Amino acid sequence: MIKEYAGKLSISDACGTMQVRRQGYYEWLARRENPPERLRQDQILTVRIKNHFYESKCIYGARKLQHLLRREGFLASRKRVGRLMRKEGLVPITLRRHIATTDSKHSLAIFPNLLNQDFTASAANRVWVSDFTYIRTDEGWLYLCTVLDLYSRRVVGWAVSATIDRHLAIAAFESAIKGRCPAQGFIFHSDQGSQYASADFRRVVAEHGGIQSMSGHGNPYDNACAESFFRSFKVECMDREHFSTREEARKVVSQHMLFYNRRRIHETLGYLSPAEFERNAPASAYVS
């Protein structure tokens, strides 16, 4: 306001009317026209933070954004990143409870748990984990089965269907086999769902040299990586969408799988995406 009336009143009179110090006005004017270095850095950081935040589909918090900024040469504390996020109203999406979909109440053969909650793998294509989830559409449920490689957390196979049966599990498994061609003796871990325990599924896994492993009855922690993937998937992708048809849902699932494998960074992978982690892995990490 002082600047607006500067041509009509002297600076001294304008400052007196507004009850501010004349020196204070000049200091404010200088800061506005020549902002201090930290303010300029905050402005640059804010632009980069907003870009990464929206590219992540609004899922990254301050910790992951800090690591992305560091890759670009911007050194900022997590506290500073969080402050700039709050200033811009950038609130990451939070996780919700995941509901189990598989039926483990059956009389089919059960395999022993070979992982015992050890979700690490020394090389790619040595340990795969799998699970199901559901997607609501106006046409009815669409069911999704995925296969993850524990080495890189990459989705190596997936399939969708209007029915949650052994054929869906086999389709997801075969898509993983087609893309990865694992060596004999790899472990395929799942819960005790009838789809994975069926004779048809057991036969397909055995034909490709896989060894099945199953979680303890009713223990989601035994398949925590697959459960965690679906918790994130529902919040980051499905919960924000409304699907008129199953085909609409399938297309969004396909897009999200590409984003997840190529762009979504993981703390457990050193803040790399699954694809980046695999590109940086030594040749010895691949067994085929």
**What per-residue confidence (pLDDT) applies to 92?**
80
CA distance to 44, 52, 53, 91, 103, per residue, from 82 (Å): 15, 14, 12, 10, 42
Domain 127-285: give its CATH architecture: 2-Layer Sandwich (3.30)
**What per-residue confidence (pLDDT) applies to 98?**
46
Single out the residue of 244, 226, 228 nearest to residue 236, CA to CA.
Answer: 228
Asked if residue 118 has pLDDT above 60, the reply is yes
Residue 266 CA to chain centroid, in angstroms? Answer: 7
Q: What is the mean pLDDT of residues 37-57?
A: 80
Domain chopping of the chain, boundaries:
11-88, 127-285
pLDDT band per the 50, 70, 90 thresholds, residue 69? confident
Identify the residue with better confidence: 262 or 66.
262
**What per-residue confidence (pLDDT) applies to 4?**
55
**Residues 6+ away with beta carbon under 8 Å from 7:** none
**What per-residue confidence (pLDDT) applies to 204?**
97
Report the DSSP pairing between strands 140-149 and 154-161.
Answer: antiparallel
- Percent of the chain residues topping a pLDDT of 70: 80
- Helix intervals (H) in 6-128: 11-18, 22-33, 37-55, 62-71, 78-88
Asked if residue 191 has pLDDT above 50, the reply is yes
Asked if residue 12 has pLDDT above 80, the reply is no
- Token output for 8: 């009509």
Between CA 80 and CA 59 the distance in angstroms is 18
36 burial class (0-12, 13-18, 19+ CB within 10 angstroms)? exposed
Per-residue pLDDT tens digits for 80-115: 888 888 888 878 876 454 444 555 565 577 899 999
Tell me how far apart the terminal alpha carbons of the chain are, to the nearest angstrom. 72
Q: What is the mean pLDDT of residues 118-135?
A: 93
> Mean pLDDT, the chain, as a whole number?
83
Asked if residue 247 has pLDDT above 70, the reply is yes
Identify the residue with better confidence: 269 or 2.
269
CA torsion through residues 194, 234, 144, 122, sign: negative
Lowest mean pLDDT among 54-58, 100-104, 108-112, 118-122: 100-104
